Amino acid sequence: MQRYFILFSYKGTTYHGWQRQPNGVSVQQVLEEALSTVLRVPIAVVGAGRTDAGVHARLMVAHFDTEPLVEPMRLVGKLNSLLPYDIAVKKILPVTPEAHARFDAMARRYEYWVTQEKNPFLRDQAAYVRGTLDFEKMNQAARRLMEYTDFTSFSKLHTDVKTNNCKITTAYWEKRGDCWVFVIEADRFLRNMVRAIVGTLLEVGRHKMDVEGFVAVIEKKNRCAAGTSAPAEGLFLVDVRYPLDIYLNT
């Protein structure tokens, strides 16, 4: 058996998140069914992480095991002809037998898109936020995230993780066309973490909370201290990075 990484993107609007669910269609389910159909054997995939319902991925990575593929790129074409319009496979790469899409990831990068104009072409792809926002203050607050490692205040309650520590290396807002985009990168993320951070930064932008108040939220290590989570539709997983030595040169 050979292990492969599959790199793909999806629009999460119609899915109940990445992970298989008993009461709704997930991206994982659709991808596994397509792989199983094309390869004619049951295939299970393990993703780099979980995205919630309505969240998108410009780049998601998963691994699966199968008999060695003579031409992995032929499988890409077959999968894309079978998958729905909102899931697209980019590459399939052979990796070392122990390579793991989730545990070997060194960094993950997310973007959160905000529009302040009603725009039908951005529906489901950017959060529509009304009113004036002070992005300078929001950037001041965002920079403070990199001073901390415990992000309990931005974690979904009652999760099964062993630690709420993460190392954030990038956090800033920038203007892109008609939208503002929050870019954040870390070695790992907690459930709901990015949306909780964005929701709290929006409180700073509305002047309902100052920068020191944002810092106090982090230090309280209490989810109830943070703002409401921002809507799912503005969030994109955009990159997952791995050690280069897990890829096979074949």
Q: How is residue 28 written in tokens?
A: 């994982």
pLDDT score, position 2: 96
pLDDT score, position 159: 61
- DSSP reduced 3-state for 35: helix
pLDDT tens digits for range 35-93:
999 999 999 999 999 889 999 999 999 999 999 998 898 999 999 999 999 999 999 99
How many C-beta atoms surround the C-beta of residue 17 within 10 A? 19
**11 and 86 Cβ atoms separated by less than 8 Å:** yes
**168 and 185 Cβ atoms separated by less than 8 Å:** yes
110 annotated as ligand-binding: yes
Parts of the chain with a pLDDT under 70: 158-161, 250
Q: What are phi and psi of 41, to 5 degrees?
A: -145, 155
pLDDT score, position 139: 97
How far apart (Å, rounded) are the C-alpha atoms in residues 46 and 206?
40
pLDDT score, position 227: 87
- Residues annotated as part of the active site: 52
Query: Would you list the DSSP string of 44-98?
Result: --EESS---TT-EEEEEEEEEEESPPS-HHHHHHHHHHHS-TTEEEEEEEEE-TT
- The alpha carbon of residue 161 and the mean position of all alpha carbons in its chain are separated, in whole angstroms, by 17
pLDDT score, position 39: 96
pLDDT score, position 202: 97
How many C-beta atoms surround the C-beta of residue 18 within 10 A? 26
